[in-house]
Amino acid sequence: MVHDLDDRVFAFNDDTTTTEWVIIFRRHERAYTVERKSDSSLAWTAPKLEPDRPNPLQILLAPLVCTKSIPPQFSHSQLFKFELVGE
């Protein structure tokens, strides 16, 4: 299960708590946003790579950033592409 804890996203091997996520394909960006269902203003966010971060690859949970234009534009750090990996 994937949960949020302290504004970070973690995978846990338990079923004690449930965090539901909404994955939305953003056609004009050709990528997805992943938003917390209970609070859609929060989304998965890739951190900037900085040498002083203890774990720079940890996905964060931050407010969703988008423009009010038509179509809306989203922050590149909040757009994800998923690939099917071979078994």
In a domain, 85, yes or no: no
In a domain, 84, yes or no: no
Task: Name the one residue in this structure whose structure tokens are 């449930």.
Answer: 18
Q: What is the pLDDT at residue 84? A: 84
The count of structural domains within the chain is: 1
14-71 pLDDT, tens digit each:
666 677 889 999 999 999 999 988 877 889 998 877 766 655 678 888 999 999 998 8
In a domain, 69, yes or no: yes
pTM of the model: 0.76
In a domain, 55, yes or no: yes
Q: What is the pLDDT at residue 18? A: 73
In a domain, 21, yes or no: yes
In a domain, 87, yes or no: no
Q: Which domain holds residue 66?
A: 2-78
Comparing CA positions, the residue from 19, 69, 22, 17 lying closest to residue 41 is 22
Question: Taking CA 8 as the corner, what is the angle to CA 7 and CA 13, rounded to the nearest 5 degrees?
Answer: 130
* Residues linked to residue 69 through DSSP beta bridges, in sequence order: none
